[in-house]
Structure 1
Amino acid sequence: MKTLHDHYDVLVAGGGQAGLIAAIVAAEKGAKVCLLEGAPRTYRGGNTRHTRNLRPLHIGPLSVLSGTYDEAEYWEDLLRVTKGKTNEKLARMTLRKSAEAVSWLEQRGVQFQPPLGGTLHLGRTNAFFMGGGKQLLNALYRHAEKLGIEVHYDAMVTAIEIENGTFKRLHVGDHVISANAFVAAAGGFEANVEWLKEAWGDIAENFLIRGTPYNRGGLLRLLLDHGAQQIGEPNQCHAVAIDGRAPKFDGGICTRVDCVSLGVVVNENAERFYDEGEDFWPKRYAIWGRLVADQPNQVAHVIIDQKSKGGFMPPVFPATTANSIDELARKIGLDADILQKTIADFNAAVQPGAFDHTTLDGLCTNGLAVNKTNWARPIDQPPYSAYSLRPGITFTYLGVEVTEKAAMKMADGSLSPNIFAAGEIMAGNVLGQGYLAGIGMTIGNVFGRIAGSEAADYALNR
């Protein structure tokens, strides 16, 4: 790799949404910017390639969102999924600044689709990109090119030089690049299975990495080794239950199985282990990867009947189907007698009520060791369908601690004057645990804009 210059005003590592936005904001302020993307051009964009939406605060309906989603409700949703493990000051700032996200992106060529209907319950809370994450990336890269931002692919940072908390230069192989300010936006370490095993033990070998294989945490490790203050726990992550037939890496969002709330989930012992109807799916889907990880061999199966067909977004792989529970059990390798009893006990425990998947309908079971609190209907209408599940890791929450100006904190209590962070590499400041659909992209958008602005201000006024 050979850059046009040896020194830049602002140097950005990471070519996903957060890094791109930081680079664009800095360039729009007049800075000379270079962006380093560790992946090949075909795979540029990190986990942004796999996303579909972001979650913005808004008062009143927009062209891409229905109704109102105000700070009070947004904060309550975030507090519920994180169970209070969040920096309230940074989190509330993120929610407020998310109100600008849609218009900021639209002004730079990103297109959105009309509000989403159906059972995902997201038309009011989440703005969906027309064409998904790749369209968003392509639009932002086109805009970056117009601004003269220098972009390099296959440009993984291999070393970094920091003196007394101040960024000096970095290495991409033998090539050395310096800058007045540096933005770290190179993601977490989810594709580094050995690092995952340090946190999870040997069961991490059975995890599938639904995100990019290029997020191995190289830059994060370099920053921590050079005195950055760590935020988050190594075993906290966005962990989703995905189809067990998904590839080891890079399966993306299409491998997610979204019918859990419509059926029952059993482990390899053919036994249920958690409430499938605890809350709306976008507020609970990200706990299921961790739940499955706690089951024998990190495997589970979601079972639905004909009533639920067409009520959820179908995954990329077809279900295993059968005309009886006995036949279905044999097809998916479960004990038929135990599965039949599990289903029969569940069916007998279903209470009277009206099913309504657009609300917390209270249609529940009673008397089971694990009751289902909403959307409980008997599994009694063949053909029956099963999807096998495995833990799918999207991104990790261990990262670097930052301020409201995206400045990186050092372990000695000082602030780096010229190192800023955005995206998954600092998401643990807001997400101590749990996940809320679309908030990863919201964090990347908000802190990308802040980091780019602050980096440019420092670089141009030092």
Structure 2
Amino acid sequence: MIDVLVIGGGNAALCAALMAREAGASVLLLESAPRAWRGGNSQHTRNLRCMHDARQDVLVDAYPEEEYWQDLLKVTGGITDEHLARLVIRASSTCRPWMRKHGVRFQPPLSGALHVARTNAFFMGGGKALVNAYYRSAEAMGVQIRYETPVDAIEMDGDRFVAARSGHERFTARTCVLAAGGFESNREWLREAWGQNERGEWPADNFLIRGTRFNQGVLLRHMIESGADAIGDPSQSHCVAIDARAPLYDGGICTRIDCVSLGIVVNRDAERFYDEGEDFWPKRYAIWGRLVAQQPGQIGYSIIDSQAIGRFMPPVFPGEKADTLPELARKLGLPEAQFVRTVQDYNAACRVGTFDHTALDDCHTEGLTPSKTHWARPLDQAPFYGYALRPGITFTYLGLKVNDLAQVHFGGKPSGNLFVAGEMMAGNVLGKGYTAGVGMSIGTAFGRIAGTQAAKAAGIKTGAVHAEA
């Protein structure tokens, strides 16, 4: 019998499989996607948010535990488990040597408009390279891997794992790690979670999925219906404002629109609806998808002028360009008079001090609702640009409740041999909101914990299994 069964194929699942195998356990990993699409949402990631008390290899300055915690506390609005969050934060400071051992490479610190050279370590080649490195290492170490094997049910004996089922196949193991992702690709579940709004719209019908098409949430729903303790709001997610022309699935990072803080955002009625300069973009980019989802038709428009060009990561598709505001409104299909009025009102309210996009500067608006608290400059330098925005769901926050040993709970009691990691438990730390790179921090920390604990629960006494030369 296999010692440890890992269900899932992304970062958390791979970390669990590698740690269990290092401990000496036999490991079978079941990935629902074909080999070419393996890796879940991890293939679209770029970086890992890391605590560090002083400059380290690819990280500049310091990013201490308390600052990391305060950043997380702010974006989640306090909807987070502090004990588990601090566990993730501390684990983020020590995981990179282990990642390198399994083939992950990091690139030199980034600077400029991304503002994350101090807080985030970037993967050389992005998430796809990270996933491929982990798979190579797992295969070399003897982890068995099955692709195109979606698990739809778990057999339990009370609170103990017995077997997993994929169609007519049955997989038994001494212990199991669940790391099969959320339900963001399940349109019906998204409709159920978001419901119908006061305008009679079903917002979820206009959502795009930034990540994998294979996260249908089948296993997550099965576990909740089977009595596993759940945590999180099903309508909360990592939800980014992305290019409305993005593909339905797997658009990834290149579909993000990063110029929001450099201009204004209006809805289809050409009205502003939120403070575009609230905070640094890496701390606020993941609230804009939800904001757009709450607007009529679930669409918004990011508007900039020529002053912003070169200050943000350009999206893969060029925006609409015009020499005048009325012309831009026509190209975007916005009510012309209202659009011009909105921009003029914004321009008149700007109080420009010393513009600095790398700091929370003193450029702000006065007498305008909503205000823009930083980086407020009049949009008066032609040409003007506009990007249509749609909500882009990366992953959902509804998950299974865990403790610091990554154990699944049933009626408040932790299972002795069933563990969970990654998106399936991220809601313990992320009740809402997001800050760049923290999803990979959660998946890496709890994937490693789950793998270690699963091997221990399987009765493994010795470790030191190494990759073949």
If the TM-score is normalised by the length of the shorter chain, which range does it land in?
over 0.9
Aligned position for 1:168 = 162
Aligned position for 2:101 = 107
Whether 2:223 is the aligned partner of 1:223: answer yes
**CA distance in structure 2 between the partners assigned to 1:225 and 1:329 by the alignment:** 49
Deviation at residue 208 of structure 1 after TM alignment: 0.6
| CA offset digits 1:337-360 (Å, max 9, x no partner) | 111111111111111301000000
Whether 2:82 is the aligned partner of 1:83: answer no
TM-score (norm. length: structure 2): 0.96
Deviates more, 1:137-146 or 1:95-104: 95-104
Aligned position for 2:199 = none
Whether 2:237 is the aligned partner of 1:237: answer yes
Q: Contact 1:56–1:102 (CA<8 Å) still a contact in 2?
A: no
Which aligned pairs between 1:174-253 and structure 2 lie closer than 5 A?
174-201=168-195, 202-253=202-253
| CA offset digits 1:138-159 (Å, max 9, x no partner) | 1111100111000010010022
Whether 2:427 is the aligned partner of 1:428: answer yes
Whether 2:456 is the aligned partner of 1:457: answer yes
Match of 1:126 among 110, 120, 126: 120
- Give the aligned residue type for 1:344: Q
Aligned position for 1:46 = 40
Deviation at residue 179 of structure 1 after TM alignment: 0.4
Aligned position for 1:56 = 50
**CA distance in structure 2 between the partners assigned to 1:326 and 1:85 by the alignment:** 43
| CA offset digits 1:2-32 (Å, max 9, x no partner) | xxxxx31000000100000100000011100
**CA distance in structure 1 between the partners assigned to 2:130 and 2:23 by the alignment:** 22
Aligned position for 1:416 = 415
- Give the aligned residue type for 1:437: A
- Give the aligned residue type for 1:441: M
**CA distance in structure 2 between the partners assigned to 1:375 and 1:446 by the alignment:** 36
Whether 2:434 is the aligned partner of 1:440: answer no
Which aligned pairs between 1:19-418 and structure 2 lie closer than 5 A?
19-201=13-195, 202-410=202-410, 412-418=411-417
| CA offset digits 1:68-117 (Å, max 9, x no partner) | 00001000100000010001111111111111122221121100101111
Query: Counterpart of 1:392 in 2: which secondary structure?
Result: strand
- Give the aligned residue type for 1:436: T
Q: Contact 2:352–2:377 (CA<8 Å) still a contact in 1?
A: no
Deviates more, 1:154-163 or 1:397-406: 154-163
**CA distance in structure 2 between the partners assigned to 1:86 and 1:460 by the alignment:** 33
Query: Counterpart of 1:283 in 2: which secondary structure?
Result: helix
**CA distance in structure 1 between the partners assigned to 2:49 and 2:96 by the alignment:** 9
Q: Contact 2:257–2:314 (CA<8 Å) still a contact in 1?
A: yes
**CA distance in structure 2 between the partners assigned to 1:134 and 1:249 by the alignment:** 16
Query: Counterpart of 1:85 in 2: which secondary structure?
Result: coil
**CA distance in structure 2 between the partners assigned to 1:193 and 1:362 by the alignment:** 43
| CA offset digits 1:421-447 (Å, max 9, x no partner) | 000000000001110110000000000
TM-score (norm. length: structure 1): 0.97
**CA distance in structure 2 between the partners assigned to 1:263 and 1:251 by the alignment:** 24
Deviates more, 1:51-60 or 1:97-106: 97-106
Deviation at residue 461 of structure 1 after TM alignment: 4.7
| CA offset digits 1:38-78 (Å, max 9, x no partner) | 00101000000100001011111122111100001000100
Q: Contact 2:60–2:118 (CA<8 Å) still a contact in 1?
A: yes
**CA distance in structure 1 between the partners assigned to 2:84 and 2:159 by the alignment:** 22
Deviation at residue 163 of structure 1 after TM alignment: 1.2
Query: Counterpart of 1:274 in 2: which secondary structure?
Result: coil
**CA distance in structure 2 between the partners assigned to 1:109 and 1:163 by the alignment:** 38
Deviation at residue 362 of structure 1 after TM alignment: 2.0
Query: Counterpart of 1:10 in 2: which secondary structure?
Result: strand
Q: Contact 2:352–2:362 (CA<8 Å) still a contact in 1?
A: no
Aligned position for 1:3 = none
RMSD: 0.9
**CA distance in structure 2 between the partners assigned to 1:170 and 1:146 by the alignment:** 25
Identity level (%): 58
**CA distance in structure 2 between the partners assigned to 1:232 and 1:350 by the alignment:** 39
**CA distance in structure 2 between the partners assigned to 1:189 and 1:150 by the alignment:** 26
Q: Which runs of 4+ in 1 moved over 6 A?
A: none
Aligned position for 2:198 = none
**CA distance in structure 2 between the partners assigned to 1:187 and 1:100 by the alignment:** 24
Aligned position for 1:18 = 12
Aligned length: 455
